[in-house]
Amino acid sequence: MSAGTKPVWLLDIDGVINAITKKPDPSVWPRDQWVRTTAFSGDDIEWPILAATPVLDFLRRVHEKGRAEIWWHSTWQHYSVNVGKALDLPEWPVLDCPEFAGQETFIATALVERERVWWKFPAVQRLLAQGKRLLWTDDDAKFQLDFRKKREWEPQALVVAPHETTGLAPRHLRHIDRWLA
Ligand SMILES: [Mg+2]
């Protein structure tokens, strides 16, 4: 990861750019602004992807203007790039995350051992310890992260946790735009 003051944007996929729903909410983004595609996740399944074009355009603009370094931080791990390709996004690296132990373990862990550290968390702490300004968009942050933790991190880090059925909404993009400014 290069040095510098450019913020790092850790981007989750499901529940952030992929809305987890069959019917997207037209009150969040108009009906004609949703696109459907699929992406291969390594388990012989082409997963459905439902994304809002204003969110994709916002990400492209942030990337093109160099406002943030965008890194995938998702259970998709190195298959994240397939989602990026399916949505015609620029190529972004996947955040190195040795704590990732597979989705099944993660779900079981989340259900059984509520005290155990979320696998996504140590990588975030490492970036913060390096003094990185950090934007972290993850729908699960609202369940997995202590609200006080998010407060402690401000203003170095902004955590945005959209609703999983909509992903990033207009108000989130406005908030992110202000934070990146
Ligand atoms: Mg998610």
- Classified by CATH at the fold level, domain 8-180 comes out as Rossmann fold (3.40.50)
Compute CA distances 122 → 30, 95, 117, 118, 134, whole Å: 37, 11, 8, 8, 14
14 C-alpha to ligand 1 centroid (Å) = 4
- Tell whether pTM > 0.75: yes
164 C-alpha to ligand 1 centroid (Å) = 7
pLDDT tens, per residue, the chain with 181 residues: 444 589 999 999 999 999 999 999 999 999 999 999 999 988 788 999 999 999 999 999 999 999 999 999 998 999 999 999 999 999 999 998 887 765 456 555 555 555 467 888 889 989 999 999 999 999 999 888 887 778 888 889 999 999 999 999 999 999 999 999 9
Q: What residue segments make up the domains of the chain, in order of their start? A: 8-180
Cβ(60)–Cβ(89) under 8 Å? yes
Cβ(17)–Cβ(11) under 8 Å? yes
93 C-alpha to ligand 1 centroid (Å) = 17
Compute CA distances 127 → 2, 7, 8, 13, 77, whole Å: 12, 10, 9, 20, 18
